[in-house]
Amino acid sequence: MRPGLRLLPAVAGLALLLAAGGWGAAAAQDAARPTGDYVLAQLDAAQQALALSAKERPDPALAEAGRQLAQIGTALRQQLGGATAQPIEILGDKIKAAAMRANAAAQRTQAYLKVSAACRGNDAKALATALALAVEQLAAAQAAGKSPPVIDAVETPDQQPLFVIHPVDRPLAFAVLGANLLDAQCANPQVSLTDVQGKPADAQPVITAVTPQRIALRLASTARLQPGGYVLHVVPQRKAFLVGCVKQPEAVATLQVASSLHVTVDYTLVAACRGQGQLTLGHGSLPVVTRQGGAAAQPIDVSACANPESYTISAVAHFGGDDRAVVGPVTQPADAGITAGLPGGLSLSWNPAIHTLFVRAEANMCRGSD
């Protein structure tokens, strides 16, 4: 298997063949010579899993991605005709290229499903939009030649699927994975980043390492990237007899740029006071940006409770729109701190020694974003 590739069992067999740069180069787990039926099954499985996810968290972008997956499957079935049981490699370059794109769409959908569950608010929406754009690009791709370049994954250096970039003034390293991305007898592929209208982005990636199956890239900064969809264009060359290296049809990958998720945490702090009963000492809202290290603090005036026996905190985290999460109530003795976890890698804590509430962004739980 090519470096850094991690696939669900449903698509492992076909991806092994793609990684090797040829349909018959590996003894695949599920199909030694993948047939049209095999490819269609992977696409159908991805479409069905996406439909189930969309029922739990409806989003127009997911509905569109599902529609595009169905369109890719319909087009491939039409091309295959009555030859769905035949190995793809014997059915001609056009069908092979269509099957590779169908497999790429299935892989990108499975990657989305793998990482999207913990995403909230505009992060969740950005991931869904990124998937829809990726599948749309694959559905619109034109037929290519004998060994078409195809990108089926975008990953971080630690091999996590990448769909969303948050603009920040620091370098971003990532990689695209696929097939036929380099001919070792030719120069490196041309790589460029544009918005969906084709306008070059202010920041352009540079290649830091390249193989036929993987291109490692680096953006010096993402701070000037405006929110919206972006397309990474990869144009490799291939050695041709007598004419030298010639440009191949481009392979594309997509990313979505989105502002960092802003969360508002509505909190309530109640004290059980000896001789006074229950007193609400604090109630309000704390905004926090959910990048790692983001934090907000709120001092609480506890003078109304002369002899506290315990403190109780409860909170509602608002991620935008109707997306919210309720935490607590959580009670601890008056001399003990309280920490409650919130979705999205946030935590709410009460420090009785300094009479302060904190909301902290401990980590980015949306693994599909940088």
Identify the pLDDT of residue 93.
Answer: 81
Contact 23, 34 (CB under 8 A): yes
Between residues 32 and 303, the one the model is more confident about = 303
What end-to-end distance do the CA atoms of the chain give, in Å?
25
- Using the CB atoms, write b or e for 114-127: b if 16+ within 10 Å: ebbeebbbbbbbbb
pTM above 0.85, yes or no: no
369 DSSP 8-state letter: B
DSSP 285-308: EEEEE-STT-EEEEE---TT-SSE
pLDDT band at residue 342 under the 50/70/90 scheme: confident
Rounded CA-CA distance 129/64 in Å is 9
Q: Is 55 exposed, middle or buried (0-12, 13-18, 19+ CB in 10 A)?
A: exposed
- Position 363 scores a pLDDT of 67
The first and second tokens of residue 240, run together, are 């041709």
41, 141 contact by CB (below 8 A): no
Q: How confident is the model at residue 295 (pLDDT cuts 50, 70, 90)?
A: confident
Q: Are 153 and 251 in contact (CB under 8 A)?
A: no
- Tens-digit pLDDT profile for residues 192-234: 999 999 999 988 999 999 999 999 999 999 988 999 999 999 9
Helix (H, G, I), strand (E, B), or coil: what is residue 122?
helix
What pLDDT does 97 receive? Answer: 86
Q: For residue range 139-198, what is the model confidence (pLDDT) as tens digits?
A: 887 666 667 889 999 999 999 999 999 888 889 999 999 989 999 999 999 999 999 999
Tens digit of pLDDT for each residue in 20-78?
333 333 333 344 678 888 889 999 999 999 999 888 888 899 999 999 999 999 999 99
Q: How are strands ordered across the β-sheet holding 251-257?
A: 164-165, 251-257, 228-235, 190-195
Q: What is the pLDDT of residue 82?
A: 87
